[in-house]
Amino acid sequence: MQGAGGHFGERGFAGAVDTEQADAVVDGIEARFTQSGVTLAPVDPKAAHRLRSRSHTSLAEVLRTIFQTYPKRAFVGLSLMAAQAFFYNAIFFTYALVLSTFYGVPHERVGWYLFPFAIGNILGPLLLGPLFDKVGRRQMIAATYTVSGLLLALTGYLFAAKILDAQTQTIAWMIVFFFASAAASAAYLTVSEVFPVEIRALAIAFFYAVGTGIGGIAAPALFGALIATKTRDAVFIGYLFGAGLMIFAAIVEALFGVAAEGKSLESVAAPLSSAAD
């Protein structure tokens, strides 16, 4: 990529870098790949971007880009982040209350039930992660959100029907989180790659803050009140609400999600610093 005026970047970026230096860096990277046996396909000239020098990106431009330029993507991002935040906090930050209130698990032993959560959280993204590139973003995000929602509803029903004990309840949550952790990771992936490269970090921060504000605050407050009733049916209603949010987010992703797999970030969203030739 070559900046307007013949420079890849000027003092507005990370310092003065001329095209010869930029080419040397890129050539060195490509050489290392070639030496390791990787065959690099030629780059389509149409994929080139001419960039203009910028000193910064204002917050007003960030918000304008998110909500005016890409309103559907913003809706997808908010739906995914808010749903996973509510879902995650609904279970993870209330599991101790559920175990002690409904299963009589002593408070000093509750921590041992955290390990299955950790296992499910690790295995989900580890095993399902590659499928987001192979199968596709839209398909896998919608699938993991849907499965997470359905499994939470099923687990909630088994809980309300008093079919589970403390051990099987924890195993059920472990299975739920196997899919939910991959779904949550996909939400961060989505908001980081569907907006211009200049605002990727701010986009993650914004959607995380808003999503956590909606789901992270509402879920513990709601479930704290439901658990305080000491009735399983009340808690089950909360689980159904969380499941509904996940399934709603899955539908939003299926309808408006971006198939970003195998594409460059610049082709998914044109850089804000793009300049016409």
Exposed, middle or buried, 75 (CB in 10 Å: 0-12/13-18/19+)? middle
Judge whether 268 lies within some domain: no
Domain count, the chain: 2
> Is 115 or 78 the better-scoring residue by pLDDT?
78
Rounded Cα–Cα distance for residues 135 and 94 (Å): 34
* Same domain, yes or no: 12 and 70: no
pLDDT at position 275 is 65
* Same domain, yes or no: 14 and 78: no
Q: What's the mean pLDDT in 53-82?
A: 90
State yes or no: pLDDT of 6 exceeds 50: no
Q: Where are the alpha helices (DSSP H) in the chain?
A: 19-35, 59-64, 71-92, 95-102, 114-128, 131-134, 137-160, 166-193, 200-211, 217-228, 232-256, 265-268
What is the DSSP code (8-state) at residue 17? B
CATH number for 220: 1.20.1250.20
Exposed, middle or buried, 112 (CB in 10 Å: 0-12/13-18/19+)? exposed
* Same domain, yes or no: 42 and 114: no
Q: What's the mean pLDDT in 28-40?
A: 86
* Least confident residue range of 67-71, 199-203, 256-260: 199-203
Of 32, 55, 78, the position where a domain reaches its end is: 55
pLDDT at position 111 is 82
pLDDT at position 103 is 92
| Strand (E) or helix (H) holding 3 | strand 2-3
* Same domain, yes or no: 149 and 48: no
Judge whether 276 lies within some domain: no
Three-state DSSP state, 144: helix
Q: What's the mean pLDDT in 60-67?
A: 90
* Least confident residue range of 20-24, 200-204, 248-252, 256-260: 20-24
* Same domain, yes or no: 215 and 159: yes
Q: What is the end-to-end Cα distance of the chain in Å, rounded?
A: 12
pLDDT level of residue 2 (50, 70, 90 thresholds):
very low
pLDDT at position 11 is 39
Strand partners, 2: 50
Amino acid at 149: G
Which residue range is the domain that position 195 belongs to?
A: 59-256
CA atoms within 13 A on the CB side of 157: 6
State yes or no: pLDDT of 95 exceeds 60: yes
According to the per-residue pLDDT averaged within each range, which of 39-43, 56-60, 86-90, 248-252 is highest?
248-252
* Same domain, yes or no: 74 and 49: no
> What residues contact residue 276 under an 8 Å CB cut-off, 6+ apart?
50
* Same domain, yes or no: 249 and 234: yes
At 165-203, the pLDDT tens digits run 999 999 999 999 999 999 999 888 888 899 998 888 889
Q: For residue 86, how many other CB atoms are within 10 A of its CB?
A: 27
Q: Tell me the two tokens of residue 138.
A: 């839209």
Rounded Cα–Cα distance for residues 160 and 177 (Å): 19
Largest CA distance in the chain: 71
Average per-residue pLDDT for the chain: 86
* Same domain, yes or no: 19 and 82: no
